[in-house]
Structure 1
């Protein structure tokens, strides 16, 4: 990047840079982000005679394109440049156009000064630096391979097996000895004492199995294998056992990364899985749309069903049904005594559609019953999580009759509890962010003190740092969730370095090139969400009831707005009423476009109709805003707003009813980490328009099986929808083409079968990696524990003291 800056300074464009810098200084803002920089540069270029060259082809335009931030102080411009994904550099441009490199620490100090929080005379601020703990671990080199951690790790491990053969073969041998289930030894017994003996016995077993037909049941030769030292777990037929042992033989003699992955994925080592999700209202009915309760609940419940099914299939295929082994999956969440008619006050609840899937609810300790007996916002639960983990551990050990084999954390609070439980029980664990709040709220770290009373970001961001570094592996739904796009910073990338003024400086918060990151997109529940064309699977009574609800039912407790012409093409959206989901932005877009109103009705399903029914300040604000927009643009007769919580079966049919009327689904979020509703609408056959900020960029292929929209540009959003409608009017088959492609896209990439297979494979491979590199992790975990006790706990205690006074 210094070469590009020098190219600008050594050319005639130096004058343009000076003029552009002068224009920037005229702004009242001292901290400019990428969009503001690009817009200002565009405005500047339009005033120049050589506009085309300057804006599109100049050195300066390239420099501006790569500039992520500009910080203005009295003596210089500080340019924060992102030359490629996952990499940032900073430079100071002085008034005389001298260029100086700016270190991370200097940049963090500069940001502190910007908010008058820089106090060097007082001895500085705590520095958090995780980089030394990754210096001796394998790292990915190519940014394109970020999120493909397990593929990289398999290559790394197989090379170790090849070059340090004795050490790694011993590690593999010892790892195979570890596995047992409730007193039953699995895989290899004490008859096999050494790695060399294992190699010899594998070859004898392969010779033995060659005498049996491929489909011979395991029980027919079980005792012969056990005499050689091989216990159950290799397969349920002669062919499957032969495949497993042949892979082991290859690994011993000639390691290969693909063989290693296939072999480790096939080993039976996971039977009991714990999913952690403390906040919100976690239940199966009557909870969606309540505060803090949405797609994450749907995701986890569907994941439980997929995991149990896959575990059962794996048990049968590895021949462990002879031992009567049954999988068990538990979702750990919070018990809410004042449950408001939900099941959230039940300690144990069976999950529908499972044999052994359960919701286990553990209450927060009653430090202040006036608070802890009720729902608590996800921004306020931090003081209760440590004791919640301690209490939950006892109940989990009882329910599982032992330790879980894998712990999966969800969202920041669940990820922190997952870390605490995994540390206490020494279990492999992974985290799933769903959304990192730091990316949602602009400058949330820089101005954390101003936001602390409302959001407590000091606790949340500290918990994020601890959880993401402690995790054995991280599951991301998309690539951009980790490192963004060439135009935007990823959610995890935003934790690379940042300041929490007066609290700490994060010099290195996460190693983005670590192989712990893996992209595993979720699936969609195919029993509930399926194409509208599968009429034989739809209930006529449900269809008619939901048609009435969507378009004609007059019930002020459930619906606001009577449609003048219910037969117009419906524009449909369904989400919680909060700022990020931006349903009010969609309503405003519709209100500003007379042409959209002429062709379409707007149908919104959100949680509530009346602000007095909500206790969530953001939801109340959005409710009031939506009423204001309806009045401001006179949308009466053109919009219908349903304040209902739909059972899952109804939500699937709702999409199909919209499909019957050749409607469309619009997801207008200001940011969306992934977007389960997008999968739901696409598999139902609805042409889907989704935000270009976040996960939808990787789900939808623009203008092929859906459409990108910019929710911050309402004119453009309306134009994209209108262009689609115009094409449908010109060619009635166009709607069908997009509909069919959207269905195909989901079935080929986003099923729970694909997801659960991948997740279980990752867990097994990282368990092996964790076993072989245990000593390196211990230093890291102790560093994280230090942060927990020195930063997190005192701040959580202060928040608890505040709660006690309420």
Structure 2
């Protein structure tokens, strides 16, 4: 039994527990989440004159603080306790305080009953359990190490090398033999016939290169190394070749995790990469702010540029310029025939600022041109992905003139496509979620039947389960994306155990302690987003134009609102108008605070101004809500709403113009998986207030280089902003201090070079692991295929049938 519960039952506080449960039964709410539980307990303590120490430090107070859910039934209640990150315990508590542990299956049955979905025989529903497929894999033990999978894997592999050197050196020898580029052998050739000979030849090669000048180009001694059994790939100079051979020599003689990481990271094994991002309007101009089109597009384009640059550098360092190796990165997305003035109907588009990175657009098959010729919501895209994979495979093989070496999926649809492609091509698969919708929509799994008409969560959550378990490795932007915080469940953690009544029960949906998880945050494009103080890099004409756009221009087609006093300090936010981004919540916060209105103007850059310009129901709803709030709080003269789609260069200058006026950036999302706009604002020098729900918790250090806000508590949010504004009015150095610390934070941690160096290293390490471990992944992949064909495909076909009637 939980020590937390036992401590209460063994103390005088069990009478308080009994009374608290009794009072819960007197309220209407039957399913309480953590905030509900804390609120109810706070009211209990207040009404019963309990001291503050009782609420925070008593045995009952500690139990309540770790309780995530309470479900009230007729004769008992179900209590879900989360004493540690990534660990959950469930108990049934009876009115007489008798208590018994509950199995996962029993918990899921309780949840089903709560939404009135009864099974003739409880538990008589499809159960999905991935745990057996992880039993043969190494797993982490300490929750603090979750998200550091590759470090754990390196230690594990190097220990195996040490324990059974003959077997693992044979595997390493065979692995080196695998590598080639367009039919040209790399690394070692047929003159080295065994791992024992490999070790001997390494020492001979070291003796040879030690006699050469350190900077002597590889091309000048290439054929001498070839006679010793070594092909291109070891380095571009004598010193680089020596370093690589010394690392391998040390790895063979006395393996350790650092040597393994350093050596595998140097192997030239990745030349062609696919980044999959099917939904939305994927383009380089005129797309941001459209439905489903925002940070992910920016992320993938910047990642593609950085990956190509990093590959070029790595391959030159490996000495492969002698073979005229040219890496290639392809962003695979959807071609939209009715492109609405964008280039989304163009099959192939070169990524700006690259030599060989491309956007490849493949159309959906024309099941119904009334649908497939147009943009399709990310919630509706599912019926087209299976045939899209078949068509995309053909296009990719033609573009690369062979198979890619790595496939990276983005978001739920891209990750499913990545799974299907990697399964067909036998290529390493990486997943990047960006955001998992299950965490965004409260009770989205329990009430999926009511929500499915609009969101089709039954398909999406199935796709998520398939892709995340199939992936060779998963990149998250933050630790909490995987397993949350001590107070909140992580996005991936929410898939560990859940019910979709009448469809299936997920008993174990993902192994959170698997080394496949790695935290690798994205960077920010430093050529577009840079400090406002770098005046030498700014274009004065652009600055003046953006200033006019933000504060004074009168363009009724694109701008709503004329400021009474444009000189006030600007509160600025930029996002799509959807419910989660919560720009309307920021407007309401501003509207409820006369003090903020007195001191500041609110500037919003938010897509569209008119409902008739949008086809997205959620966006239309938010447009109407924003106009309503402006009228309700009489914000005329105090707010500017720009319904514009900005070129990327202009979006960078906007932050700098806001910084010129010592403005503030506010990111009020109800949930934010990461928050690229936060990085953009901070690197530009704008003090940033960001939601405490999600990734910003790991980007910002509260009151050090930015501020957390709770967007559900509008009065508290307004006061926190107002406190900073008042401090800055009294001492301008307060603004400058936070501005500088924000810039320092981004430059030290969030650059694309750090990201792509780590991503490529991960891809190589997991490639090595998959080859040397001989994991029995085929069992899991067959299980995943069963889910795809038995659950995903029939539901996707049913949605396609609905589309056919449009």
1:426 aligns with 426
Residue 715 of structure 2 corresponds to residue 747 of structure 1 = no
- Residue 123 (structure 1) shift: 7.4
Distance in structure 1 (CA, Å) of the matches to 2:52 and 2:275: 55
Quick check: 796-805 or 612-621, which moved more? 796-805
Q: Which residue is equivalent to 2:22?
A: 22
Structure 1 residue 191: deviation in Å?
1.4
Where does residue 691 of structure 1 map in the other structure? Answer: 691
TM superposition shift of 1:3: 2.6
TM-score by length of 2: 0.99
Counterpart residue number, 1:734: 734
Question: Cα deviations across residues 512-535 of structure 1 (Å, max 9, x unaligned)?
Answer: 000000000000000000000001
Helix, strand or coil at the partner of 1:572: strand
Aligned mates of 2:177, 2:602 — CA distance in 1: 61
In structure 2, the partner of 1:265 is 265
Q: Equivalent residue for 1:151?
A: 151
In the other structure, the counterpart of 2:214 is 214
How much has 1:726 moved relative to structure 2?
A: 1.2
The alpha carbon displacement at 1:360 in A equals: 0.3
Q: Following TM superposition, by how much is the alpha carbon of 1:775 offset from its aligned partner in structure 2, in angstroms?
A: 4.0
Match of 1:714 in 2: 714
Distance 2:402 2:509 in 1: 34
CA distance in 2: counterparts of 1:122 and 1:474, whole angstroms: 35
Q: By how many angstroms is 1:767 displaced? A: 0.4
2:278 aligns with 278
Q: Could you tell me which residue of structure 1 aligns to residue 394 of structure 2?
A: 394
* SS, match of residue 474 in structure 1: strand
1:295-314 to structure 2, matched below 5 A, reads: 295-314=295-314
Shift of 1:730: 1.6
Q: Where does residue 200 of structure 1 map in the other structure?
A: 200
Give, in whole Å, the separation in 1 of the partners of 2:375 and 2:731: 51
Establish whether residue 509 from structure 1 lines up as the match of residue 509 from structure 2.
Answer: yes
* Other-structure match for 1:40: 40
2:761 maps to 1:769: no
Distance 1:659 1:122, change over 3 A: closer
Mark the runs of 5 or more structure 2 residues left unpaired by the alignment. Answer: none
TM-score, scaled to structure 1: 0.99
1:648-727 equivalence runs, <5 A = 648-727=648-727
Mapped to 2, the partners of 1:195 and 1:183 lie a distance apart of: 23
Structure 1 moving runs of 4+ over 6 Å: none
Aligned to 2:7: 7
Partner of 2:363: 363
Separation in structure 2 between the aligned mates of residue 300 and residue 799 of structure 1, nearest angstrom? 28
Question: Helix, strand or coil for the counterpart of 2:776?
Answer: helix
Q: Which residue of 2 aligns with 1:566?
A: 566
Q: Contact 2:411/2:432 (CA < 8 Å) preserved in 1?
A: yes
- 1:170-217 deviations in Å (ceiling 9; x for gaps): 111111111101011100111111111111110100011110111111
Please give the alpha-carbon distance, in whole angstroms, between the structure 2 residues aligned to 1:325 and 1:35.
56
Q: Distance in 1 between matches of 2:26 and 2:120?
A: 29
Shift of 1:112: 0.6
Cα distance in 2 between the residues matched to 1:189 and 1:613: 62
**Aligned equivalents of 1:239, 1:99: Cα separation in 2:** 68
Q: Which residue of 2 aligns with 1:642?
A: 642
Note the alpha carbon deviations across 1:323-342, whole angstroms, 9 max, x for none.
00001000000000011110
Instruction: Give the conservation status (yes or no) of the 8 Å contact 2:188–2:231.
Output: yes
Matched, 1:492 2:492: yes
Q: How does 1:182-193 map to 2 (within 5 A)?
A: 182-193=182-193
- Shift in Å, 1:122: 8.4
| CA displacement at 1:42 relative to structure 2 | 0.3
Counterparts of 1:563 and 1:572, CA distance in 2? 14
| Deviations, residues 740-787 of structure 1 (Å, cap 9, x unaligned) | 111111011000010000000000000001112344111111111111
For residues 6-64 of structure 1, give each alpha carbon's deviation from its aligned partner in whole angstroms, at most 9, with x where no partner exists.
22122221111111111111221211100000000001101123322321221000000
> 2: CA distance between counterparts of 1:441 and 1:26?
27
2:553 alignment partner in structure 1: 553
Query: 2-side partners of 1:660 and 1:186: how far apart?
Result: 53
CA separation in 2, counterparts of 1:107 and 1:207? 66
Q: Distance in 2 between matches of 1:442 and 1:11?
A: 35
Distance 1:655 1:66 in 2: 40
Whole-angstrom distance in 1 between the partners of 2:803 and 2:124 = 31
C-alpha distance in structure 2 between counterparts of 1:49 and 1:258, whole Å: 58
Partner of 2:324: 324
CA shift, 1:465, in A, is 0.3
Residue 604 of structure 1 aligns to a residue whose secondary structure is: strand
Q: Say which is worse superposed, 526-535 or 723-732, in terms of deviation.
A: 723-732
Could you report, residue by residue, the CA deviation over 1:363-414 in whole angstroms, capped at 9, with x for unpaired residues?
Answer: 0001111100111110001010010001000000000111111100000000
Aligned to 2:169: 169
Is contact 2:137–2:775 with CA below 8 Å preserved after alignment?
no
Map 1:616-635 → 2, pairs under 5 A? 616-635=616-635
Query: How many residues are aligned here?
Result: 806
Instruction: Kindly state the Cα deviation for residue 78 of structure 1 after the two structures are TM-superposed.
Output: 0.6
SS of equivalent to 1:121? coil
Following the alignment from structure 1 to structure 2, what is the Cα–Cα distance between the partners of residues 392 and 445? 31
Determine the structure 2 residue equivalent to 1:577. 577
SS in 2 for 1:573: strand
Instruction: State the distance in 2 between where 1:774 and 1:396 align.
Output: 28
Question: What does residue 31 of structure 2 align with?
Answer: 31
C-alpha separation in 1, matches of 2:589 and 2:805: 44
For the 8 Å contact 2:2–2:89, the answer to whether it is kept is: no
- Structure 2 distance, partners of 1:50, 1:646, is 55
